[in-house]
Structure 1
């Protein structure tokens, strides 16, 4: 995929990814835009995304699960919020950026709150991706 994307970029095309909004793919390629269904699905599944600056890995995204019901099964690739090692950091992030608490993430009625948190994540992710793309020398339209 990389050679094709780079060839299109070098020809002046603005590349749009369908079905993926993952940092690990977007940041390394001259991709201008993307869309995927995860932004719409995650809140209803109880999944909240958090760019965790305490990680040292390339993609610092954490997927935190807030089940709607006590017995809710945590989706693959996610961590149950009570088991999340950085819960205090996440709670501080919620409060300082959105005036939310952890209670705002829990339960059947919290879908909208989780969606708002994920919208903030995607706005921040866009900046992180653009920053990394610029560091690789890619020049993309605003």
Structure 2
């Protein structure tokens, strides 16, 4: 499967290339959220971006954090100029949650009428899964949005239905091994990736408890209290240092105070996670044609 990494920078891609010159990753960029960063990656790609996907940026609209006025027509104008830069691009779904079906499908039709082929984003599983399953020849890839508002069992059931109809499925905002391993997901993107980096954290997999964890790289929080998950006092610190040394030939000191290096190291973690999930899917007979 593919894990699309958001918030990766051109500088961290260059560092990743030096650390692991033979790997390539999948990258997700969001329309207008960080336009200059996207075009820096396009113009300075060191050759380790395997595919580049475009998100319409509507999550920022729902959170009222978008710095620009955007609607489906603005998005269409952008696609007119820039869609060829991307491997694929998602539809414009401004209303997240079960009430978002009408606006998502209407905007899908608007973009298609202008000659674009965006990946549809499902908001309401009950209303839309069977609808798209019946249109498999037209939509061989669909996405499921607002995943945090949905139960994992419902996501798995919907994905199995779509997979049985020969439709590949992308999950928005899920980067958990345990969740992704429950269904034949073709791709996902990890929203936590950006949050961990923004807060200066490092991600790792706790093999004993079977879950992802993140380490604080600052000893004290903004309120002055000790971070209980500060990496130097964390029980998994040595395991993490061993992983760093084995996989990337780095020490903790090489990483802990270097923002772009943290990003590159976390990026490699998600690359490994992607490979692990692909192996799990292959063992179950779920083999996709993109590798």
User: TM-score with structure 1 length normalisation?
Assistant: 0.79
Bigger Rg, structure 1 or 2: 2
The structure 2 residue matched to 1:25, chosen from 164, 179, 187, is 179
Shift of 1:86: 2.2
Distance 1:135 1:45 in 2: 36
Secondary structure of residue in 2 paired with 1:92: helix
Shift of 1:39: 1.9
User: Does structure 2 retain, via aligned residues, the 8 Å contact 1:30–1:138?
Assistant: yes
Kindly indicate whether structure 1 or structure 2 has the higher relative contact order, using CA contacts under 8 Å at least 6 residues apart. Answer: 1
**1:81-108: CA deviations, max 9, x gaps?**
122112122112212322322123333x
**1:54-95: CA deviations, max 9, x gaps?**
x24444x3322112xx4226xxxx822122112122112212
Q: How many residues align?
A: 131
Paired position in structure 2 for 1:119: 267
Distance 2:209 2:167 in 1: 30
Query: Cα RMSD over matched residues?
Result: 2.1
1:101 aligns with 2:251: yes
Large movers: runs of 4+ above 4 Å: none
The structure 2 residue matched to 1:71, chosen from 202, 206, 220, is 220
Q: Which runs of 5+ in 1 are unaligned?
A: none
Paired position in structure 2 for 1:91: 241
Distance 2:244 2:158 in 1: 39
Moved more, 96-105 or 3-12: 96-105
Moved more, 23-32 or 35-44: 35-44
Secondary structure of residue in 2 paired with 1:79: coil
Paired position in structure 1 for 2:169: 15
Paired position in structure 2 for 1:5: 159
Distance 2:173 2:202 in 1: 19
Q: Which runs of 5+ in 2 are unaligned?
A: 1-154, 223-227
Distance 1:118 1:37 in 2: 13
User: TM-score with structure 2 length normalisation?
Assistant: 0.41
User: Does structure 2 retain, via aligned residues, the 8 Å contact 1:47–1:63?
Assistant: yes
The structure 1 residue matched to 2:286, chosen from 129, 138, 141, is 138
Distance 1:58 1:93 in 2: 17
Paired position in structure 2 for 1:81: 231
Q: Residue 88 and residue 56 in structure 1: after superposition, are their counterparts in 2 closer, same or farther (change >3 A)?
A: closer
